[in-house]
Chains A and B, each alone.
Chain A
Amino acid sequence: MPTSDVVVVGAGLAGLTAAIALADAGAAVTVVARGHAATHWTAGGIDVAAPPQSSTAAEGLARLKAVPGHPYSFLEADVRPGIDWLTSVLAAEGLTYAGDLDEPLRTVPTSIGSTRRVALVPDAQSAALTPWSPDERLVVAGPVGYKDFWPATIAASLERPRVWGGSDVAGARPSRVDAVSVELAGLAGRRNLNALHLARMFDDSAWREAAFAAIAAAVERRGSGRGRIALPAVLGLTDHAGALRDARRLLPLAPFEVPLVPPSLPGIRLFQALRAALRRRGGRIEVGEEVIRVDHDRRRVTAVVIAAAARERLFRTGGLVLATGGIAGGGLLGRADGSLVEALLGLPVEAPAVGEWLAPDPFDPAGHPLESAGIRTDDGLHPVDAGGKVVFENVAIAGSLLAGQRYLVERCGDGIAIASGRRAASTLGALPAAANASRRREKAAASR
């Protein structure tokens, strides 16, 4: 029936978090998204806060909380409970996370031989988190013929101390970085091999046993002693847990996955776990259906309009979570006159004047003012106008559409997505429409 207590527009981390929380609260919830979101492109970890010079995510979080107008200024208290809750939801779907917001941010390698700083990562990346002992080496290992992961190039770059932050702090980096490229069965001549192809091969337990044996032999030929192995993030999709277990069992050194250019397996696993959690709770998700308009009765949204083949499809709803993303996600659109507009409801956008969008230096460490553009809300995430007046009573904004964040520089996107997704759910879950859900469920149960 084209009716929901709440419709969530957008199937990224924020939208799916909101939807799962709403379904948990008993609401009939439908996620509508025009396509797959950033989950398929990103590294699969949970970035909470890592502004420049921050030592821990907790400290970064505290600093961003103090920034006037930053989403963390009113969401900070929800971040830890939100992450605890979501990671337990994900663990129930077989995807566990490791790390600690109070531990120092860890510097881990990327697939181009640079590094990034992280706090919470999927279990498959967790071996990169612990500090390096003075005698520990890193072996970068990958299959011959795979174009998105070049062990020799990555190792050569990681040999340079400045890539690890230049510090000579004990434990900051491995003592040595080696590279091995391994011939794996069935890859010869496969010119279009991508991460997904490899992951599906690693889903096959017989194939991967042989593959890990070949990698183990190559690593041992490269030298002995303590260390860890960096592998491309292709260790399985449908049987990721099994592939990871086998990697740990069969390789001579502790393995960790290095996220790759898209398609990103750690992100796809995250999406699939979130989707499964939502469906398990009776929530619906329709990817490939674009909401083109929202109907409203003064300050209340009444329906979303979806572009179907040859017609518009009306989907009535008691509430709306807008998790359509910022400029990159398509939630904000730029107009030729230099103004920014919110794509669905035409909500007021808080943004710098067009002349001040960009810093003169493209690589300015402070980022660009335009990054902070977004929708201003009250603490319940209702959108507000310039005077602070709520524009729609049954709409909540979640994720990177929120004004005041600079997620590229502050590395705060996932923490905001989770905290705001959950806050949006509690705002809309309290609506009268959601109260009908439990009654409807009882009715459904009775009819069976």
Chain B
Amino acid sequence: MTIMDIVQEASFAEVPLSADECLKCNVCNTVCPVARVTDRFPGPKYVGPQAQRFRIATILPPQAPSTPVLASPDATVDYCSGCGMCTSACPADVKIAEMNSRARAEIKAGHRPRLRDWLLGQTDLVGRLGVAFAPLANWTLHNRLTRTVIEWTIGIHRRAPLPVFARSTLRSRLAARTKGSGREAGGPGEPPPDRAVVLFHGCAANYYEPHVAFAAIEVLRRNGFETIAPEQVCCGLPFISNGLYGRARNRAATNLGVFADYARRGYRIVGTSTSCTHTLKAEYREMLDVDDDDARAVAAATWDICEFLLDLHDQGRLDTTFGRLDETLPYHAPCQLRSHGIGLPALDLFALVPGLQAIDMDHDCCGIAGTYGLKKEKYDIAMAVGDPLFQRLRATASARVACDSETCRWQIEQATDRPAKHPIEIIAAAYAAGYAASGAAAAGPGRSEGAAANR
């Protein structure tokens, strides 16, 4: 195998080979929120492009015979939270955070996974069990004594923000709505792609926050789109973050099997979890080397909910009859959202709502970075990373906060005692306020008729 053969494999080698572009300029180290607060992580440059030359094995295709697997020269790469600030700041397009993720996976490959890593990745299993036994599960996960035991045995920090299981899953609620209508996913009455989107609800909306998905469904309906929610599994990001790429690839294969068909038929795939949608868009390829036609079709069809709505607005198709929301609303843009490269669409949507004054908190990362801040040894780091944000939020008089990512919302709620809302909940509330206002004037149309009138 020659170097040219490797370059031929450019799509899979894009991340490892980008180390060659590194100027050693240190810009990544200046923006790393983890290195800012702890010496346990020396900084993205050292564990990323600088260490990459020793990980030459990673640039060989997986099918290469008896590729020697070299250990990462610096195990502190595990302290990378994966927030991606380094990749954003790099003037030379080095994929630093992605490189770090792959290095972590290589360290963990060939070992039996640690119970905690495995558990944090098993979002569907944990979610199903948690919802089934919600009262008991919620008591266990929000009780000081049991949390202490969990910290000792599993290594999840006793004060780390864990969400509350819903009493029933989003899927079961949706199924109850559409049962027998023929309009369920895959049913004969499935609406066509110009009048429907496919929902990637992710684990958070399914097991913890069905109301976020329902807010999205309502807003989409208001704009003339029905929502199809096919059977799906976790996007795999929690496994990617914990270095368990094999298991993540299984999740990717299942999801691509479901969604690629929709993508080819012209449906857009919309998600309320900005980290799930980024996984579908980019991480299957950049991290997992899953880069077939199915993956490309799904990536191209996937939209973050706010990105989707802003695109509608750009085409002049967004219903902008919002009611007034007289509120000053602090907004935190999650690190994962920035990796989309789509700006801050939630802020642009908020600007359309009369009376709503959204304030960008202008902080890089709340610290949680998915599952990072849950871990016993990383909890303090995560809290220190988010501290300037928490201080800024506590200094505002606002009753609530908006943020696109669920784990960030849970972290913010835990740290500041302020409820954190998905932007789509705010948008739904603005529609409701508009409806209430017009309804008060002339007993206006019902909700679904209102949506139909806007088509």
Q: Do A and B come from one complex?
A: yes
- Please determine whether B29 and A263 come into contact, CB atoms closer than 8 angstroms: yes
Binary flags per residue of B10-45, CB closer than 8 Å to A gives 1, else 0: 000000000000000111011100001001001100
Q: Which residues of B contact A330 (CB under 8 A)?
A: 91
Residue B339 lies at the interface, judged by CB distance under 8 Å to chain A: yes
CB-contacts of A183-208 with B (<8 A): 190, 192, 194, 196-197, 200
Contact with B along A133-144 (1 / 0, CB 8 A): 000000000000
Identify which of A2, A41, A262, A290 contacts B310 (C-beta below 8 A).
A2
Among candidates A34, A268, A311, residue contacting B30 with C-beta atoms closer than 8 Å: A268
Closest partner residue, chain B, to A313 (CB atom): B342
Of all chain A residues, the one with the shortest Cβ separation from B88 is A288
Chain A proximity of B449: nearest CB distance (Å): 27
Rounded to whole Å, the gap between the CB of B354 and the closest CB of chain A is 5
Q: Which of A79-87, A218-226, A301-309, A373-381 contacts B (4 or more CB under 8 A)?
A: A301-309
- A289 contacts across to B, CB distance below 8 A: 341, 343
Interface positions, chain B 356-412, Cβ under 8 Å from A, are 357, 362
Closest to B300 in A: A310
A35-B282 in contact given A200-B36, A263-B26 (Cβ < 8 Å): no
Count of chain B residues with a beta carbon within 8 Å of a chain A beta carbon:
39
Q: Are B89 and A35 in contact (CB under 8 A)?
A: yes
Q: Are A287 and B89 in contact (CB under 8 A)?
A: yes
In the complex, what distance in Å separates the CA atom of A200 from the CA atom of B310?
39
Closest chain B residue to A330 by CB distance?
A: B91
Enumerate A250-298 residues with CB–CB distance to B below 8 Å.
262-263, 268, 279, 284, 286-290
Query: Given that A2-B314, A308-B342, A310-B281 are known contacts, is A194 also in contact with B88, CB under 8 Å in the complex?
Result: no
A289, B343: Cα distance in complex, Å: 8
A2 touches B343 (CB 8 A): yes
B242 within 8 A of A: no
Contact string against A for B residues 79-95, beta-carbon threshold 8 Å, 1 for contact and 0 otherwise: 00000000111111100
The verdict on B302 contacting chain A, using a C-beta distance below 8 Å, is: yes
Of the candidates A35, A41, A288, the one whose C-beta lies within 8 Å of that of B338 is A288
Cβ A196 vs Cβ B30 within 8 A:
yes
Contact of A448 among B27, B88, B357 (CB under 8 A): B357
| B30 x A263 contact (CB < 8 A) | yes
How far is B92's CA from A35's CA once the two chains are assembled, in angstroms?
A: 7
Q: Are B91 and A192 in contact (CB under 8 A)?
A: no
Kindly state whether residue B46 has any CB partner on chain A within 8 Å: yes
Is A1 among interface residues, defined by CB-CB distance under 8 A?
Answer: yes
The one of A263, A284, A306, A444 in contact with B341, judged by C-beta atoms closer than 8 angstroms, is A306
**Which residue of A has the minimal Cβ distance to B91?**
A35
> Contact between A310 and B282 (Cβ–Cβ < 8 Å)?
yes
B87 touches A36 (CB 8 A): no
CB pair A262–B26 under 8 Å, yes or no, is yes
| B 119-169 contacts with A by CB, 8 A | none
Query: Is B341 in contact with A288, judged by CB distance below 8 angstroms?
Result: yes
Instruction: Enumerate chain A residues within 8 angstroms of B282, measured Cβ to Cβ.
Output: 309-310
Q: Is A53 an interface residue (CB 8 A)?
A: no
Q: Which residues on the B side are within 8 Å of A306 (C-beta)?
A: 341
Q: A1-B348, A34-B93, A330-B91 are in contact. Are A309 and B341 (CB under 8 A)?
A: yes
Tell me which residues from 315 to 360 in chain B have a Cβ below 8 Å from any Cβ of chain A.
338-343, 348, 351, 354-355, 357
Query: Could you tell me if A286 and B343 are in contact, using CB atoms closer than 8 angstroms?
Result: yes
Which residues of chain B have C-beta atoms less than 8 A from A40's C-beta?
A: 25-27, 30
CB distance from A36 to the nearest CB of B (A): 5
Q: How many Å from the CB of B443 to the closest CB on chain A?
A: 27
Residue A37 is within 8 A (CB to CB) of chain B in the complex:
yes
- Is the pair B354, A196 in contact by a Cβ cutoff of 8 Å? no
Q: Chain A residues with Cβ under 8 A from B36's Cβ? A: 196, 200
Q: Least Cβ distance of A293 to chain B in Å? A: 14
Q: Is the CB of B278 within 8 A of A35?
A: no
Contact mask for chain A residues 407-448; partner B; CB cutoff 8 A; 1 contact, 0 none: 000000000000000000000000000000000000010011
Cβ–Cβ contact A190 & B39, under 8 A: yes
Q: How far is the CB of A386 from chain B (nearest CB, A)?
A: 31
A148 CB to closest chain B CB (Å) equals 10
Please indicate the chain B residues that have their CB under 8 angstroms from the CB of A287 in the complex. Answer: 88-89
Q: Is the CB of A194 within 8 A of B29?
A: yes
Check A310/B89 contact, CB under 8 A, given A262-B26, A288-B341. no
A311 to B338, CA, bound (A): 14
Q: Are A34 and B91 in contact (CB-based, < 8 A)? A: yes
In the assembled complex, which residues on chain A have CB atoms less than 8 Å from the CB atom of B351?
1, 444
What chain A residues lie within 8 Å of B355 (beta carbons)? Answer: 448
In the assembled complex, the Cα of A448 lies from the Cα of B354 at a distance in Å of: 6
Asked if B170 is an interface residue, CB under 8 A from chain A, the answer is no
The one of B89, B354, B357 that contacts A36, using a Cβ cutoff of 8 Å = B89
B247 within 8 A of A: no
Tell me whether B299 is interfacial, beta carbon within 8 Å. yes
CA distance A286 to B343 in the complex (A): 7
B313 part of interface (Cβ distance < 8 Å)? yes
Which one of B26, B31, B348 contacts A194 once the chains associate, using CB atoms below 8 Å?
B26
Residues in A neighbouring B93, C-beta threshold 8 A = 34-35, 290
Contacts of A263 on B, CB cut-off 8 Å? 26-27, 29-30
B341 touching A308, Cβ below 8 Å: yes
Contact of A313 among B39, B90, B341, B348 (CB under 8 A): B341
Bound Cα distance from A330 to B93, whole angstroms: 11
A194 to B24, CA, bound (A): 14
Contact, CB under 8 Å: B30 / A309: no
The 8 Å CB contact of A307, one of B26, B43, B341, is B341
Q: How far is the CA of A268 from the CA of B93 in the complex (A)?
A: 20
Bound form: Cα–Cα A289–B338 in Å: 9
Residues of chain B within 8 A (CB-CB) of A200 are: 36
Residue of A nearest to B76 (CB): A192
Provide the bound-state CA to CA distance between A447 and B356, in Å: 9
In the complex, what residue of chain A is closest to B31 when comparing beta carbons? A36
Complex Cα–Cα for A448 and B357 (A):
8
19 A-B residue pairs with CB within 8 Å: A1-B314, A35-B92, A41-B27, A190-B39, A262-B25, A262-B26, A262-B27, A263-B30, A284-B343, A289-B343, A290-B93, A307-B341, A308-B342, A309-B278, A309-B341, A310-B302, A311-B300, A313-B341, A448-B354
Q: A263-B27, A290-B93 are in contact. List 20 more A-B contacts (CB 8 A).
A: A1-B313, A1-B314, A2-B310, A36-B91, A40-B25, A40-B30, A196-B30, A200-B36, A286-B343, A288-B87, A288-B341, A306-B341, A307-B341, A308-B342, A309-B281, A309-B339, A309-B341, A310-B300, A311-B281, A311-B300
Q: Which 4 A-B pairs have the closest CB atoms?
A: A288-B88, A35-B91, A308-B341, A310-B281
